Structure 1
Amino acid sequence: MSLASLPDERAERDPNGPAVSDASVSLDNAAFLRRVQAAACHLEDLGIGPGDVVALKLTNRLEFVLLLFAAWRVGAVITPVNPGLTDVEVLRQLDDSDARLLVVEDGTTVTGHVATLAVGDLHDAGEPSQEPHVAPSALALLIYTSGTTGVPKGVMLDHANLDAMAAMGREALQVGLHDRCLLILPLFHVNGIVVSVLMPLLAGGNVVIADRFNPHTFFDAVERHRPTFFSGVPTIFNMLAALPPEVRPDTSSVRFAVCGAAPAPAELLARFESRYGFPLIEGYGLSEATCGSTLNPVAGPRRAGTVGVAFRGQEVRIVDGAGRQLAPGEGGEVVVRGPNVMRGYLGRPEETARVVVDGWLHTGDVGHLDEDGYLTLVGRTKDMIIRGGENIYPKEIEDVLAADPSVLEVAVIGVPDDTWGERVVAYVQPRPGGTVDPASLRARCVESLSGFKRPTETFTVDAIPKNAVGKIDKAALRTLHAAAAPVNEPADEPVLRHRP
C-alpha cells in the first residue's frame, strides 16, 4: 500500500470508520480523504508539485496530518519545522531545504523569501485533485537532526523508507484495525510521524492528536479517548511515574506504550508497569533509520535494560573501529542495515559517505548484543568519558543514580581535569516536591561502581536541559557547566551540591 494513496484506500474500505481527530475536529475516513484532496488542490493552486518542499511550522494539530498526505498526493516533500526555533534557525532550515512554501500558525510571521500560508487559510473543500502521485523512490520527508552534534542536517527519507518502516512497526507491535494511537510526541520529529500517525493509519486503526503533554491531565485524555497505545520518551514516563500515589487512572484500554528516543533505566520500566498495569516497550532508533531499528517484543520475552531485537527486515551488528563484526557480548559501535536506512544527508555527500558505508548505517552509539540478539546500549561515542586512560560510559552511572527513589532524572558528563584528563560529574533532578539524599547516592555508587567511575561532584538542579524532542541535551549541559562559576575544587570523596 502506498502512503500517498492511503486516504483513498481507507475511504473506499470503511468510509464511516474513524481516521484522525484533534481537540477541534474528528474526521471519519471519507471526510479525511475529502480534506486531504482539498489541501492537495490548494497546494497545486500555489504552484506546488513533484519534488517541491513544503515546510510545516505547526504545533500538533489535524492540519499537519492533512498537509502531510496532501503534499505526498501531489508528489511534494514535507520538512517539519520545530515551532520553538528562532527565526534565524527557521530561515536556515528553509534555505537548506530550498522550501517553496512555509505553513505557519495563524498570526505568525516569518521574515524571508519563502511564500507563507497561514494554516487557518488552508482550503477545507474543493474539487478532488489528481490521482495520488505514487513513486517509492521519491523523497517524502526531510527531517532535520536536533543539532546536538553540530549544525542540523536534513535527513532524506523517501517513500520506500517510510513504507518499510511503517510496515515493520505494524508487524512488530501487532497493530491492527481496532487500535487507536494517542499522539503526544511532536510531529516535527520522525517518531511522532511514523509511530503515532503512519503506522496506525496503515494498519487500519485511527489517531487522536492530544493537546500539549501535561502529566497532570494526561490520564484524563487516556480515560476520555481510550487509546490502545501511545509513544513517549523516558522524560514523559518519569513524570507520570512521579505522580502522587492517589492518582489511579483507568488504563484498561491501553495495551502498551512505546518508550524510545533515549535509553530508560530498567527500574523505571518495572515501576511504571507495576503501577499503571501496561508495559513500556523499549526500542531504539534514529532519524537516519526512519525511526526504529530494535524493539522489545510485545508478546515475547522483554529484557529490561536492553532495547530489544532487530525489526524483521533489518540487520543490527556491533563493529570495532576497523568495521569488523564483533561477537556477542563484545562492545563496539552499533551499525544498522535495511530498507529503512536514509537516502543520505541533503547536500552533504561526504558526511553521508562517512555515515553509510556499504549500506550499513554507522549510528555513533555504543553497545553489545547478547546471544539472542538483544541490544544493550552503553552510550554514544561522543559521550564517552576517558579518565586516566579508562573508558567510562555515562549510562552505567546514570542507571545507578536513577534507581534512587528520590531521583527523577540523571545526566552524567565528563569535564576537563588537569590530572586525569576528565572527571565524572553527575546532574540529578529530584522528584517533584522532594530532595535528594546524598548519603543514599553515595552508597549506591560505592556498591555498584568502581572507584574511577564514581562522580566526583553531583549537582542537584531544578531541571535537566532537554532538546526539542525531549532527549537530555548533554552538549547544552556541558556548556552550562563550563559557564558556571566553580563552587570549589573537587573533593576526594563524591560531594553533592546545588546548582540553580
Structure 2
Amino acid sequence: MAHGTYFAWDNADRGETPCVRDDNLELSYAAFAARTEAVAEQLAGLGVGPGDVVATFLPNRAELLVVLMAAWRLRAIGMPVNPGFTDTEAEYQLSDSGAAVVVSSAPVGDRQARTFLPVDELATTASAEWMAPQPPTADDDALLIYTSGSTGRPKGVLLGHDNLQFFTRSAVDFFGHGPDAHALLILPLFHVNAICVSCLTPMVAGGQISITGHFSAGRFFDDVVRLRPTYFSAVPTIYALLVSQGRIPDGALDSLRFAVCGAAPISRELLAKTEEIFGIPIVEGYGLTEATCASACNPVDGPRKLGTVGPAMPGQQIRIVDPEGRDVPTGERGEVLIGGPAVMRGYLNRPDATAETLIDGWLHTGDVGILDDDGYLRLVDRIKDMIIRGGENIYPKEIENALAGHESVLECAVVGAPDPVLGEVPVAFVVTYPEAEVTEDGLAAFVEPLLTRVKRPTEITIVEALPRNPVGKIDKPGLRSRVG
C-alpha cells in the first residue's frame, strides 16, 4: 500500500478534505497546513529552532495538533504536558525537558524560565515573507512524552520521526485504513496512544479526526451518531462505563468498524460483553511509550484470542526471556522484550536508565508474558507488581481475572500488603456495577474454588472507584500505600 506522511505541508494538496475538528474549530487539510505555517512562523519569531522543545499545556483541542505540527516544521520537538498537572508537576516536566516555549491558556510553571504563548493568540495566517526552513528528516527527534512515573520520577521518552513514520504506516496497513478512516479521539493528547493511533495514523491514510471534549459515556453515543466515526481507541475503564449505560439504540453505532483497547489489561468478561453490545471487534493491544505506542495487537479481521494482546505488529519483534536474558520455550513465562523500528531513542538526559532498559537494541519492558504457538502474547503481570507470599510468587493478574469472572465486578485491582509472617499477602479492591448486590464475603466465596489458598485475597474491599495515574492506568503504587 502506498503511504503518505502525516506532515501538514505534504498534505495541503488534499484541499478541502476534512482533516481535524473539535467542538469549536473545523480544519480541512488545506486549512490545517495554513495554520501550521502561521504558527511555525510565530514560533520561529520566538527563537524556536531545530532541537528545541515546544510544550503544550492544553486540553484536547485542534490547536494542540497545530502547535505540534508547527514545531515539527521548525525541526523542533513537540511535548504535550498533562493539563491536569499542578504548577509544581508541570514545572518539573518543563524544566527537565528544557522547554523553550509553552502554549497554554494561562501561564504555568516558572514564568521567567521560558516564553509563554497564549493559545488564543496563535497566528492563523503566515506572512507573505515567511520562508519555511528545510523540513525534518527521519533522523530528527519528534516527540518527548513523559512516562507516568509509576516507577519513580517521570522520565522523558524521546521518539524520532523514524519511529513515528514506521508506526503510523504500519498501523495504516494493520488496521486496513483508507481515506474513509475517521477517528473519534477520546483519550488525552498528552499520551502517545492518542497522538499516534487516533491522529497521525488517519492523517497518513488521508482520513479525519474528531476531537471530543471531556469524556462522558452519555456524550460518547451522541458524538458517534452525529460524527459517524469508523473507529476509536479507549482504555478498559471507558469500556466499563460505556457498557454500564445499558441498551444502546439500534443503529447508533453503525458507522464503527472496530475499536481498540489498550493502556491497561481488560478482563475477558468485559471485552466479550463490550463486543456483544457494540457489535464490532474490540481489538486488545499492548505497548509502551518507549516503543511508540503499540507492539502487539489482535487483528481486526484475523483470529482474535480473548485473554491475549495479539501477535507482534508488522515489523516488530517480541521475545520472552528468563532473568539471564535467555529465550524461554514457547508457553513459558518470562520478561517481554520488544525489538524493531518503533523502539525509542532513549530517555532524555538519563543515560543510566536508557542503558538499563535498552540492551543490545531490545527494549526490556518489565512485563511478564507468555507467547503461544501462534505468537499471541498473554500478559501475566508487571515484574514489580509480583507478590511474594512466604517465598511463593503470586501474580496479581491471575487473582484479578478470577474476580472479574463475577457478573457484578466492573473492575478490580490486587496488590501486596505487608505481613509480619509471610512478607506479603494479596489484597483486592473491587468496583462493582451500579445496583449490583454483592458483598465482600460473597466475592471471597466466589473465588475460593478458583484459586489455591495461597492466592486467595486475605481481604477484599468494595470501593466506588480505583485510583488512576495521569494516563488512566490503575495506580497500584497508590493502592499499595493504602495497605502499607
- The residue identity in structure 2 corresponding to 1:119 is V
Shift of 1:442: 2.5
SS at 1:372 equivalent: coil
Q: Which of 383, 386, 391 does residue 381 from structure 1 map onto? A: 383
- Which stretch of the first structure deviates more once superposed, 239-248 or 65-74? 239-248
CA distance in 2: counterparts of 1:362 and 1:460, whole angstroms = 35
- Which stretch of the first structure deviates more once superposed, 237-246 or 135-144? 237-246
- The residue identity in structure 1 corresponding to 2:96 is D
Shift of 1:3: 4.7
Q: 2:110: which partner in 1?
A: 111
Count of matched residue pairs: 479
1:254-403 superposed matches below 5 A: 254-403=256-405
CA distance in 1: counterparts of 2:213 and 2:435, whole angstroms = 25
Whether the aligned pair in 1 keeps the contact of 2:248 and 2:277 (CA below 8 Å) is no
Shift of 1:88: 1.2
Whether the aligned pair in 2 keeps the contact of 1:364 and 1:381 (CA below 8 Å) is yes
The superposition leaves residues 328-370 of structure 1 with CA deviations (integer Å, 9 ceiling, x where unpaired) of 1000000000011001011111111111000000000001000
TM-score (norm 2): 0.96
**Residue 473 (structure 1) aligned with residue 475 (structure 2):** yes
TM-score (norm 1): 0.93
Segments of 5+ residues of structure 2 without an aligned counterpart are none
The superposition leaves residues 355-401 of structure 1 with CA deviations (integer Å, 9 ceiling, x where unpaired) of 10000000000010001100000100000011111111111111111
SS at 2:198 equivalent: helix
**Residue 411 (structure 1) aligned with residue 440 (structure 2):** no
CA distance in 2: counterparts of 1:279 and 1:269, whole angstroms = 10
Q: Which of 147, 152, 155 does residue 153 from structure 1 map onto? A: 155
Q: 1:239: which partner in 2?
A: 241
Shift of 1:447: 2.4
Shift of 1:480: 2.4
- The residue identity in structure 2 corresponding to 1:39 is V
CA distance in 2: counterparts of 1:139 and 1:322, whole angstroms = 33
Whether the aligned pair in 1 keeps the contact of 2:440 and 2:462 (CA below 8 Å) is no
The structure-2 alpha-carbon separation of the partners of 1:158 and 1:443, relative to structure 1 and needing over 3 Å to count, comes to same
- The residue identity in structure 1 corresponding to 2:405 is A
CA distance in 2: counterparts of 1:346 and 1:157, whole angstroms = 10
CA distance in 2: counterparts of 1:214 and 1:61, whole angstroms = 16
CA distance in 2: counterparts of 1:237 and 1:249, whole angstroms = 19
Whether the aligned pair in 2 keeps the contact of 1:269 and 1:279 (CA below 8 Å) is no
**Residue 68 (structure 1) aligned with residue 65 (structure 2):** no
CA distance in 2: counterparts of 1:136 and 1:274, whole angstroms = 42
The superposition leaves residues 142-177 of structure 1 with CA deviations (integer Å, 9 ceiling, x where unpaired) of 110101110000101011011111112111111111
The superposition leaves residues 299-355 of structure 1 with CA deviations (integer Å, 9 ceiling, x where unpaired) of 100000000000111110000000000111000000000011001011111111111
Segments of 5+ residues of structure 1 without an aligned counterpart are 483-500
Shift of 1:27: 1.1
> CA RMSD, aligned part only?
1.4
The structure-2 alpha-carbon separation of the partners of 1:2 and 1:277, relative to structure 1 and needing over 3 Å to count, comes to closer
Q: 2:8: which partner in 1?
A: 7
Q: 1:493: which partner in 2?
A: none
- Which stretch of the first structure deviates more once superposed, 128-137 or 151-160? 128-137
Whether the aligned pair in 2 keeps the contact of 1:387 and 1:452 (CA below 8 Å) is yes
SS at 2:151 equivalent: coil
Q: Which of 213, 221, 227 does residue 225 from structure 1 map onto? A: 227
Percent identity reads 50
Whether the aligned pair in 1 keeps the contact of 2:440 and 2:461 (CA below 8 Å) is no
SS at 1:479 equivalent: helix
CA distance in 2: counterparts of 1:443 and 1:459, whole angstroms = 14
- The residue identity in structure 2 corresponding to 1:31 is A
Shift of 1:87: 1.1
1:52-91 superposed matches below 5 A: 52-91=52-91
